[in-house]
Structure 1
Amino acid sequence: MTTLNKEEAEAKDIAILAKGGRTNVFGFLLRLAARIPFLFIAGRIYGADALGRFAYAILVTEFTAQLATLGLTRGLAEKLARTKKDENHVVGDALLLSLITASIGAVILSFLPILMFRGAPVSFADHWLFPWVVVPLVWADIALAALAFYGDIAASVKAQAIIEPWVLSISSVIFIWIAPHEGLLLSYVASAVAALAASLYPLLKRFGWPHGWRPHIPTLFSLARRNIPLAAADAIEWSSRRLDIVLLGLFFSSSVVGVYYVAQQVASLVQKLKTSFDPILGPVITRSLEAGDKAAVANQVRQVGFWIIAAQTGVTLALGLTSHGVMGLVGPRFAGGDGALCFLLVAEVVAATAVISEAALIYIAPKTNMAISIAMLSLQAALSIPLISVLHKHLGHNPLPSDLAAAAGPALALAISLGTGSILKSCLLRRLLKAPVSPWKWALLPAVIGAGAVGMVARQFPEWLELSLGVIMILVSYSSIIWYLGFSPEDRMLFKRQKMPDLAEPVMKADEEEA
């Protein structure tokens, strides 16, 4: 590859990432606008107890769905980049394999509903309908991963940032009158089915019907076996975000779980700024690795990492400095979860480097990456209970099952473990690529200090003014400083409209067995 061609390829990759980034920022704003009504409805009408029951049930089903994807949400990009088969046949194999694993998971949950509801009364819908939400969850993820291989991030935004959250909010209102006990869970099922429909339609338009495709059992087993490291990495990363809910479910009342779930959902808006880059970053990295260009991979990790950290830090400051009012919007009971929200927001920012580094490590050092992830999860589990005890002793005023102050312990443990993982994974990736991968820029420091000062002033406002004008003041001050001090011409590509580079000609190589 000539120097000119290499520079053109790198510029094309950054343009692809910038286009995907712009689409995802827009999707984040849409997701924010749609998620708030649901949290308001769930908190004000259904209540903290019902929300806690809902949170624990979907935790179990989403974990089952995560296992059932077998890592194909990221592994599919590598498979499509290497295959000589018709691409729609590869997608057909992935959908069939995930249908089998998702159905097995749904059957297990149907016969063991206690895994989802912890001894609470279980209705017919809870028992036999809700567990099957695993199938649309898995298929939607696979379909969107296939579309992302060709840079179609708009499909993900439409399905997951518009249709899914708005159907969830609207359905939760409708089911208040039809099935108040199962209303939240049935709303979740409706939103998952709607998101699946919105994912399959563009998939068929892009890939077409797989004519001539026949299921081949050895191929399916090979696909499953090769994706075990990816599946494990995804499951561990997902578990690190849900272990806190599991621990709270064991030690605290359903109402505390419900309050913490709201804090987690608000923080997940920040997380989506990070994870929504995965579909577009994966194909770009696999193409660079296929070409043997490690320097390009390092550049992509640095670039996307800075975009994510810069965006997450601004949103974290805006939500964290006004956390009491943000949580109070859902209901007075929820305002006590402001400490947990702050820790969760910090956790998402410090996790950004780990997740972006992992986007490359899963392809070049999957076993080492998995070992680090397991160590992170173990550290989180080891710290959670001691931190619950310490916070309860020094801050708690209620019996432990209803102590919101102590419930922030798992969130703090999450922040510590993710920060540790970020250091380890970025160091490993830097050594393997023989190039710097850290997204940190010193301009972040004055931006945080400036926005923090503005936030402290905004906290003196009446709550309604703090949540309206105060949040805007924090975001404007932060954005102005980071734009002028931190954004290079390459960074500013994120905000320049340009024609999307053609992704219709992926690198095509024969499948090779992993060493």
Structure 2
Amino acid sequence: MTSGTPSAATGIPGPHHASRCFRRTRKPVSSPRTSGAASCRKRGADARAMVMNEAAGSLARGGRTNFAGFLLRLAARFPFLVLAARLYGAEELGYFAYAVMVVEFVAALATLGLKRGLSAEMARGGRDERHVLADGWLLGLALAALGTAVLWLFPGLMFPGLERAGAARGFALIVPAIVMADISLAGLAFRHRIEVAVRARSVIEPWVLTIAATLLAFTAAKQWGLLIAYWLSLLAAVTASVLPAVREFGWPDGWRPSVGRMAWMGWRNLPLAGADLVEWSTRRLDLFILGRFAGPQEVGLYYVAQQVASLAGKIRVSFDPILAPMLSKAVKEGRPHEAAAHLNQVGFWVLSFQLPVVLALGLPGEGVLGLFGPEFAVGGLVLALLLCAELAAAGSSLAEMGLIYTRPKVNLVVAAATLALQALLSLLLVPKFGGAGAAGALMLALVAGAVARQLLLGRALGASVGMWRWSLLGAGAVAFAFGWAARALPELPQMILTIPGVLLLFAALIWRFGYAPADRALLRRGHG
């Protein structure tokens, strides 16, 4: 087979030699030449198939690596939630959750969309990738310093109603670390160094948080224990992110900071930054509004349910670092159908893992939350609604990733409309239903956003974008019936039977009836 020029980003052959074959067959030819043209077209089709197979292999490798990271994060995050809930209680967790939300909001502002936009900046070419990364670092640090100063001057923004808020102002100093870690990992993702993100975010950060929070609970610093533990975990994560980035890219020799160049980078990323900010706000607005209408104890209960539900959402995030560079490259090189194929493939993979997790955690929800303490067991309905919201968020976020590279302004409008809808529904439902109202408003808004984004993306790419398959619904229905029947059992036997039973039953059905050979590449090391 005639091989194409390797792609700079992926190392896979390109399809351009196929077009050369077609150009050679434009003139009327005799029968022997017709045979040669057919052979050439066949080589072109084989080359395009090879490109797609290699791309699917890259997605599978990246997805496997990050899904392993999800399992590691689950193994660390769940013990943290249990220990923190039992050692500190719902009220302290409520204060901690609100402070972390504010700090991460400021960090999201300072990152200016570079978590996903840095791949597009590097894919533009024309500049040394080391210099692009250095620009991103400096731009992020400058904005992070500004945000930190605001929180330092007004600590009540992080700790509303807390008497010791002034003494906790140092918590704001963690913002630059969050920004540096995010930008470093974005640069490494462009080089397909996904294992660094797994190590930093799924091993080092959650385990430092868990161990530090547990130890500090038995010291005189217990009232600050969760905040100090978060501080230490982020410092460890930024160290594990920045140092590998420096080793991978090298020192940016010849780089000179330029206000104009960084301002232009920020301007180009404004649509993406706006979309990121709106998406982030969509996932935190529920907690913010609940915190204004309810006390810290109910916020703490909601936070625990939110964290349990987010474990399902982390499955989708597993594919982001590898999918973003491949989508940006496919769109930039004028291959929209390939971009749609990537999204459909990853979407099916994500839903086939996320749906059984949603069912396994949601059906015995009261028992799952009861593990954190008796005061948390009343949040079963909140957990079920949040898990459904995570399921809707998977399709919405994947479609959004495609819109970012095709119709960024349209995506921003959809994101803003979704946020406005959530705010309206939250203000209507939270005063009456509390945490369940906040979760329900989030779920309805995300469903609406997912439908709108997939329709708009399909129109932008000129290709069908559909991640759901009938096999998912069939396997999900059988697993749901099994889990619902198990609800007749007492709480502990119900959990013991439902969680592994739903996961295994769904896995067997989807593998047998839903996964085609291309889908199974995700779980076969020899095929990707």
TM-score greater than 0.5 by the shorter chain: yes
Aligned to 1:162: 203
Distance 1:379 1:124 in 2: 35
Distance 2:526 2:167 in 1: 48
Q: Does 1:210 align with 2:238?
A: no
Q: Structure 2 counterpart of 1:281, which letter?
A: L
Q: Structure 1 counterpart of 2:284, which letter?
A: R
Distance 1:83 1:218 in 2: 19
Q: How does 1:347-362 map to 2 (within 5 A)?
A: 347-362=389-404
Q: Structure 1 counterpart of 2:383, which letter?
A: L
Assess, with a 3 A threshold, how the Cα gap between structure 1 residues 10 and 453 changes in structure 2: closer, same or farther: same
Aligned length: 485
Does the CA-based 8 Å contact 1:88-1:209 persist in structure 2?
Answer: yes
Does the CA-based 8 Å contact 2:327-2:402 persist in structure 1?
Answer: yes
Structure 1 vs Structure 2: percent identity of aligned residues? 45
**1:201 aligns to what SS in structure 2?**
helix
Distance 1:179 1:381 in 2: 37
Q: How does 1:63-462 map to 2 (within 5 A)?
A: 63-122=105-164, 126-127=168-169, 129-176=170-217, 177-391=219-433, 406-462=434-490
Distance 1:390 1:51 in 2: 23
Does the CA-based 8 Å contact 1:125-1:182 persist in structure 2?
Answer: no
Q: Does 1:60 align with 2:102?
A: yes
Does the CA-based 8 Å contact 2:278-2:416 persist in structure 1?
Answer: yes
Does the CA-based 8 Å contact 2:80-2:209 persist in structure 1?
Answer: yes
Assess, with a 3 A threshold, how the Cα gap between structure 1 residues 498 and 99 changes in structure 2: closer, same or farther: farther
TM-fit CA distance, 1:390 = 5.0
Query: With structure 2 as the length reference, what TM-score do the two structures score?
Result: 0.90
TM-fit CA distance, 1:200 = 1.5
- What are the Cα deviations for residues 169-202 of structure 1, in whole angstroms up to 9, with x where unaligned? 0010122214111110111111111111111122
Q: Structure 2 counterpart of 1:65, which letter?
A: A
Distance 1:455 1:484 in 2: 20
**2:251 aligns to what SS in structure 1?**
coil
- Of stretches 255-264 and 38-47 in structure 1, the one that deviates more from structure 2 is 38-47
Does the CA-based 8 Å contact 2:521-2:527 persist in structure 1?
Answer: no
Q: Does 1:489 align with 2:483?
A: no
TM-fit CA distance, 1:334 = 0.5
Q: Structure 2 counterpart of 1:436, which letter?
A: S
**2:253 aligns to what SS in structure 1?**
coil
- Of stretches 29-38 and 173-182 in structure 1, the one that deviates more from structure 2 is 173-182
Distance 1:339 1:469 in 2: 20
**2:337 aligns to what SS in structure 1?**
helix
Distance 2:415 2:484 in 1: 36
TM-fit CA distance, 1:430 = 0.5
TM-fit CA distance, 1:307 = 0.8
Larger radius of gyration: 2
Distance 1:95 1:6 in 2: 37
Distance 1:203 1:431 in 2: 37
Distance 2:523 2:426 in 1: 40
TM-fit CA distance, 1:106 = 0.6
TM-fit CA distance, 1:51 = 0.3
Assess, with a 3 A threshold, how the Cα gap between structure 1 residues 254 and 317 changes in structure 2: closer, same or farther: same
For structure 2, the 5+ residue unaligned runs are 1-15, 19-43
TM-fit CA distance, 1:124 = 5.9
Does the CA-based 8 Å contact 1:52-1:259 persist in structure 2?
Answer: yes
TM-fit CA distance, 1:350 = 1.4
Distance 1:170 1:178 in 2: 16
Distance 1:468 1:89 in 2: 53
Q: Structure 1 counterpart of 2:246, which letter?
A: L
- What are the Cα deviations for residues 138-174 of structure 1, in whole angstroms up to 9, with x where unaligned? 1111111111112111111111111111100001012
Q: Structure 1 counterpart of 2:213, which letter?
A: S
Q: Structure 2 counterpart of 1:92, which letter?
A: A
Q: Structure 2 counterpart of 1:463, which letter?
A: E
Distance 2:165 2:100 in 1: 16
Instruction: Report runs of 4+ in structure 1 exceeding 6 Å deviation.
Output: none
- What are the Cα deviations for residues 409-445 of structure 1, in whole angstroms up to 9, with x where unaligned? 0111111110011111000010111110111100112
Q: Structure 2 counterpart of 1:35, which letter?
A: R
Does the CA-based 8 Å contact 2:159-2:165 persist in structure 1?
Answer: no
Q: Structure 1 counterpart of 2:485, which letter?
A: V
Aligned to 1:465: 493
Query: With structure 1 as the length reference, what TM-score do the two structures score?
Result: 0.92
TM-fit CA distance, 1:5 = 3.0
Does the CA-based 8 Å contact 1:350-1:415 persist in structure 2?
Answer: yes
- What are the Cα deviations for residues 91-135 of structure 1, in whole angstroms up to 9, with x where unaligned? 1110111010111101100001111101312356511x2101111
- Of stretches 476-485 and 272-281 in structure 1, the one that deviates more from structure 2 is 272-281
Distance 2:480 2:58 in 1: 33
Does the CA-based 8 Å contact 1:303-1:439 persist in structure 2?
Answer: yes
**2:381 aligns to what SS in structure 1?**
helix
**1:122 aligns to what SS in structure 2?**
coil
Q: Structure 2 counterpart of 1:185, which letter?
A: L
Q: Structure 1 counterpart of 2:184, which letter?
A: A
TM-fit CA distance, 1:465 = 3.0
TM-fit CA distance, 1:213 = 1.6
The one of 481, 502, 508 aligned to 1:480: 508
Does the CA-based 8 Å contact 2:184-2:245 persist in structure 1?
Answer: yes
Aligned to 1:513: none
Distance 1:462 1:207 in 2: 56
Distance 2:490 2:54 in 1: 48
Distance 1:346 1:356 in 2: 16
Aligned to 2:28: none
Distance 2:220 2:229 in 1: 11
Distance 2:127 2:526 in 1: 32
Aligned to 1:36: 78
Aligned to 1:512: none
